[in-house]
Amino acid sequence: MDADLLHARLAPWYAEHRRDLPWREPGFSAWGTLVSEIMLQQTQVARVRTAIVEWLGRWPTPADLADAPTHEVLRAWGTLGYPRRALRLQDAARAIVERHGGAVPDDVDLLLALPGIGDYTARAVAVFHFGQRHPVVDTNVRRVIARAVQGQGDAGPAARADLARVEGLLPADVAEAGVVSIALMELGALVCTARAPRCDDCPLLGDCAWVAAGRPVYEGRRAPRQAAFAGSDRQARGTVLRALRGVDVPLSRAELAPLWPDAEQLGRAIASLHDDGLVVVEGESVRLPH
């Protein structure tokens, strides 16, 4: 499968089946694109499509978020999960104001230099907002490439070679490359899913190496599975943050104690939240950062 064939198959499919999402609307800002990519990390699209409208209504520019009280930022993040992302997003906003006059840079290296911005996010902003030609590689893209091109049932753990592999499948034309990038991602999210791929609906069905090989079961290395959420330290951390987001005053450890049955685990959760900068511990009191 080469770049021209990939574009020929994916472009019409994407035009017909693409989801209508806020960050794909004409005129959506570079800052909005950056915010959406941070929110979409480990959070379902359905939750982000609502949250980002509210978020950008409150903080429409990096300068707005940079000046916001951190406790308000954490409250607004709500149940999106992994709240350290909210802190890193505010750090990135402050860096954009200090280094770039409040305008999101269009250069991948400058984006990578922002706090909390990694390979995927930097390239996603450069491609999806600024219209540049770069490989944008997430779990969905890696799975589609592993199946359609390599004939494997899954992609296994992420590797640096993934960028070069996807780069080699992008058309030379910048606009066409952008369509392939977003269409690969959409295909992996909607059709070439991990557990129940809908191969009969796939525009790559007739060219898919995995289908041609009889859809063999993947037997390679797998990415580590995430630990169960129920009863975990992560759930304990979320319980503490949820309680603090619901009040405007600090809570004592005694007030937090009834919220979690394991006192030792609760103490560990509070300590880790403090280490991450998500709460401030003052004696026996715990509060959100100012």
Q: Could you give the residue numbers annotated as active site?
A: 37
Residue type, 100: H
Give CA separation, 94 vs 115, 160, 238, 263, in Å.
9, 29, 26, 37
Phi, psi (rounded to 5 degrees) for 81: 90, 160
The whole-angstrom separation of Cα 63 and Cα 53 is 17
173-187 residues labelled b (16+ CB within 10 A) or e (exposed): eeebbbbbbbbbbbb
134-161 residues labelled b (16+ CB within 10 A) or e (exposed): bbbbbbbbbbbbbbbbebbbbbbeeeee
Name every residue whose Cβ is closer than 8 Å to that of residue 236 and which is 6 or more positions away in sequence: 260, 262, 265, 266, 268, 269
Q: Which residues pair with 252 in a beta bridge?
A: 285
Give CA separation, 210 vs 48, 89, 185, 188, 204, in Å.
32, 39, 18, 14, 11
Residue type, 55: W
Q: What's the distance, CA 110 to chain centroid?
A: 19
In the numeric block, which tokens belong to residue 137?
């590689």
DSSP 130: T
Handedness of CA 186, 189, 193, 197 (dihedral sign): negative
For tokens 């009969």, the residue is: 200
